């Protein structure tokens, strides 16, 4: 039940990685630790991983009483990010923009293959927290603000990681995290308090976890924060009553980093560590990421000897952990598997990373059809992120914070390098610093890279979503210097940084998110028209820091009343770019929205169909999103809710019919009794600007 970090058994110098035999035997033989995780400082080569894991495993199998093999765990959250020369994909936020669950599943499958090839069989991924607070520094790890997208993409990831069997050489155990409510801290900071009415907890935050449980995810990690005044690590209600009993979850519940200790140190619900262990194990914890010492081990044994925790309770957790090891084939094949190693670094992985990065890129503005750029024109490229691998890959990229480019593959290209390769060095002039813009360059276009560099977790806390003032001033100076030259912004960022003040200066805006190892090539392909963008925003891009509103807000959230000089009442919702927005280099037209029956009764289903036509001159992909709006309900309804999405590819002039199936459960909400209900009445069914009326009755 004890999980330690790698530094507990290694030499502090870590150059090269070296296991301390005395520490190793203290951990494995004397204290019977069953799992180890993480890296020390940075990613390792495949060979280093193999040597490390086989060395630990040999001690587990030959020097311990029961000869139980140990389990290695890792965070591989957008590719195998702690193995050198692996394939890194867009972060989940970018993957959500693809609206392509099969592509998300493929990225997870490749990640699983490279993780298992490293000798590791347990991956702390995916994040199922619904990203409804963009200040939160783990926002890029989410699939955005919508519960349906988070659910569908999360399940796709789990199926990709776990495959048909964990015993397969291409599979790893997934970990749905972080249960529950982690992503909406009241102060916007990491590991902070959230205040979530239970009706909202069940409506927006539980569904992805329920779907993940139903999909068979083997493990779950707990929210480091607290919900409504109770730390989740100490919440028997959430971990046992809800997770175990309601959702029928059978797998392992693992803590996050040092979070049992924090019940005393930060949350202050336990007067000492022993009481914290009692609270958490009683709540339902199976495995504790301690991660540096034996405090959990020692206090848990003491609690059992005192009779405060029953041995039967320990047996429950131990059985779950042993079951996972059996499922992963560690008892059969405890050492690094040669068959798995063959799956590392295959050429097609880069193509998948490129496809994911391309499909994620979201075209937010294209005034006067400035994009795609002409390849024979001169371009001035400005900004520090143009020549940065770290700003393309973000968090968890060969180091925890992702800020050390020396560990990236030498073949990965920055945006600048990809642009030069695309159109030739003579057509590209680069200036990193806004203050060094030359006045004698005669560019046809100016590309400005904006956003944010890599960060992970608490170091990524921010007090504002505003761009740095020097970037704003830099853009203004460029406009003064080159008032007639078209500007194009490329945004590489893990959350929406506000561009309100400078957006009018740009003809084009590309949202690249953190697009991963092939992000440079993908941006260049989109800029020059070798790929037609199809990404759709997975969140509402705010215009102001003080107005962070999701697309599925309530009517009252945008209601404005003015009493003087005369009474006025109106609705106001004006984000920079709305949820689901994303342009293309072609145009699409929606028509003929129809219901197979405008009366939905009981448990029956109806079909919704709509025609989508490519009315432009290029082939392109379009995501057709289906929304509903409940006219009236006993709990105030949202302005609209996403109920389905499908992506289609169309040649110029081609029309396809997109169909959905709707039942009463698709229109349900959580009622005042905390149960899902669909109430009789009228609903708008909407696709784009089209709308039809549907009436529901129970019988």
* Assigned fold of 588-697: Immunoglobulin-like (2.60.40)
Arithmetic mean of pLDDT, 411-426? 98
On whether the CB atoms of residues 37 and 291 are closer than 8 A, the answer is: yes
Half-sphere exposure of 420 (CA within 13 A, CB side): 13
- State pLDDT tens for residues 170-208: 999 999 999 999 999 999 999 999 999 999 999 999 999
Domain ranges of the chain: 347-527, 588-697
- State pLDDT tens for residues 79-137: 999 999 999 999 999 999 999 999 999 999 999 999 999 999 999 999 999 999 999 99
Confidence at 16, pLDDT banded by 50, 70, 90: confident
End-to-end CA gap in the chain? 51
Other Cβ atoms closer than 10 A to 618: 15
List all residues 6 or more positions away from 292 whose beta carbon is below 8 Å from its beta carbon: 4, 5, 7, 8
Number of alpha helices (DSSP H) and beta strands (DSSP E) in the chain = 18, 29
Closest CA to 179 of 104, 127, 132: 127
CATH top class, domain 347-527: alpha beta
Catalytic residue selected from 190, 256, 259, 552: 256
On whether the CB atoms of residues 507 and 367 are closer than 8 A, the answer is: yes
β 226-227/193-194 pair status:
parallel
Confidence at 559, pLDDT banded by 50, 70, 90: confident
Confidence at 567, pLDDT banded by 50, 70, 90: confident
- State pLDDT tens for residues 433-455: 998 888 889 999 999 999 999 99
**R_g of the chain, CA atoms, integer Å:** 26
Confidence at 14, pLDDT banded by 50, 70, 90: low
Structure tokens at 25: 């035997």
Confidence at 403, pLDDT banded by 50, 70, 90: very high
DSSP string computed for 459-480 = GG--S--BPPHHHHHHHHHHHH
Reported pTM = 0.97
pLDDT of residue 644: 98
List all residues 6 or more positions away from 109 whose beta carbon is below 8 Å from its beta carbon: 160, 161, 163, 170
What residues are paired with 3 via a beta bridge? 35, 289
Burial of 479 (0-12, 13-18, 19+ CB in 10 A): middle
Q: Locate all alpha helices (DSSP H) within 346-468, ordered by sequence.
A: 347-360, 390-393, 415-423
pLDDT of residue 568: 82
Arithmetic mean of pLDDT, 531-558? 96
- State pLDDT tens for residues 482-531: 999 999 999 999 999 999 999 999 999 999 999 999 999 999 999 999 99
Q: Locate all alpha helices (DSSP H) within 424-468, ordered by sequence.
A: none
Closest CA to 150 of 213, 197, 71, 205: 205
Which residue has tokens 């853009």?
Answer: 475
Helix (H) or strand (E) holding 570: strand 568-571
- Residues of 288-311 as b/e, b for ≥16 C-beta within 10 angstroms? bbbbeebbbbebbeebeeeeebee
Give the start-end residues of each E strand in 482-525: 487-492, 508-511
- State pLDDT tens for residues 35-81: 999 999 999 999 999 999 999 999 999 999 999 999 999 999 999 99
Confidence at 218, pLDDT banded by 50, 70, 90: very high
Mark whether 444 is an active-site residue. Answer: no
The C-alpha atoms of residue 186 and residue 184 are separated, in whole angstroms, by 6
């Amino acid at each position: 039940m004890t999980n330690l970090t790698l530094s507990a058994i290694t030499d502090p110098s870590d150059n090269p990685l070296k296991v301390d035999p005395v520490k190793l035997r203290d951990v494995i033989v004397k204290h019977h630790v069953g799992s180890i995780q993480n890296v020390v400082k940075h990613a390792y080569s495949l060979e280093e991983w193999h040597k490390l894991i086989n060395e630990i495993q040999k001690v587990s199998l030959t020097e311990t009483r029961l000869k139980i093999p140990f389990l290695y765990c890792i965070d591989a959250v957008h590719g195998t990010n702690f193995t050198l020369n692996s394939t890194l994909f867009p972060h989940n936020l970018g993957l959500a923009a693809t609206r392509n669950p099969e592509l998300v599943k493929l990225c997870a499958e490749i990640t699983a293959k490279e993780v298992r090839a490293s000798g590791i069989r347990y991956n702390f991924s995916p994040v199922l927290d619904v990203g409804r607070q963009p200040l939160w520094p783990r926002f890029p790890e989410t699939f955005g603000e919508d519960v349906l997208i988070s659910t569908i993409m999360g399940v796709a990831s789990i199926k990709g990681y776990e495959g048909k069997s964990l015993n397969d050489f291409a599979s790893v155990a997934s970990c749905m995290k972080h249960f529950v409510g982690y992503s909406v801290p009241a102060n916007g900071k990491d590991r902070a308090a959230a205040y979530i009415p239970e009706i909202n907890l069940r409506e927006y935050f539980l569904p992805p976890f329920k779907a993940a449980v139903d999909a068979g995810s083997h493990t779950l990690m707990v929210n480091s924060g607290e919900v409504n005044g109770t730390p989740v690590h100490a919440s028997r209600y959430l971990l046992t009553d809800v997770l175990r009993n309601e959702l029928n979850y059978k797998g392992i519940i693992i803590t996050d980093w040092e979070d049992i200790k924090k019940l005393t140190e930060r949350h202050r619900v336990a007067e000492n560590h022993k009481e914290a262990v009692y609270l958490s194990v009683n709540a339902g914890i199976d495995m504790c990421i301690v991660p540096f010492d034996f405090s959990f081990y020692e206090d848990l044994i003491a609690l059992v000897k005192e009779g405060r925790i029953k041995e039967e309770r320990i047996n429950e957790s131990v059985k779950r952990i042993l079951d996972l090891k059996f499922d992963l084939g560690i008892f059969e094949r405890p050492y690094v598997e040669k068959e798995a190693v063959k799956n590392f670094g295959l050429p097609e992985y880069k193509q998948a990373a490129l496809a994911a990065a391309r499909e994620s890129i979201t075209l937010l503005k294209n005034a006067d059809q400035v994009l795609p750029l002409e390849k024979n024109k001169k371009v001035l490229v400005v900004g520090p992120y143009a020549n940065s691998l770290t700003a393309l890959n973000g968090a968890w990229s060969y180091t925890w914070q992702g800020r050390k480019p020396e560990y990236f593959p030498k073949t990965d290209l920055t945006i600048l390098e990809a642009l030069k390769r695309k159109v030739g060095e003579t057509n590209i002039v680069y200036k990193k610093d806004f203050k060094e813009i030359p006045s004698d360059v005669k560019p046809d276009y100016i590309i400005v890279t904006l956003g944010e560099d890599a960060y992970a977790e608490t170091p990524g806390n921010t007090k504002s979503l505003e761009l740095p003032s020097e970037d704003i001033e830099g853009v203004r100076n460029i406009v003064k210097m080159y008032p007639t030259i078209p500007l194009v912004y490329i945004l590489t960022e893990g959350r929406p940084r506000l561009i309100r003040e400078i957006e009018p200066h740009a003809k084009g805006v590309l949202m690249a998110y953190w697009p991963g190892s092939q992000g440079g090539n993908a941006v260049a392909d989109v800029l020059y028209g070798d790929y037609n963008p199809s990404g759709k925003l997975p969140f509402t891009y705010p215009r102001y820091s003080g107005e962070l509103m999701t697309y599925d807000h309530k009517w009252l959230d945008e209601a404005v009343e003015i009493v003087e000089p005369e009474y006025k009442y109106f609705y106001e919702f004006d984000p920079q770019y709305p949820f689901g927005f994303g342009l293309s280099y072609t145009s699409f037209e929606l028509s003929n929205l129809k219901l197979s029956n405008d009366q939905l009764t009981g448990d029956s289903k109806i079909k919704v169909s709509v025609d989508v036509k490519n009315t432009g001159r290029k082939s392109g992909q379009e995501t057709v999103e289906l929304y509903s709006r409940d006219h009236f309900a006993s709990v105030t309804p949202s302005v609209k809710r996403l109920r389905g999405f499908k992506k289609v590819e169309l040649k110029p002039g081609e029309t396809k019919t997109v169909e959905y199936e709707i039942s009463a459960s698709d229109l349900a909400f959580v009622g005042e009794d905390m149960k899902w209900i669909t109430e009789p009445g009228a609903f708008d069914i909407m696709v784009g600007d089209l709308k039809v009326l549907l009436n529901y009755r129970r019988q």
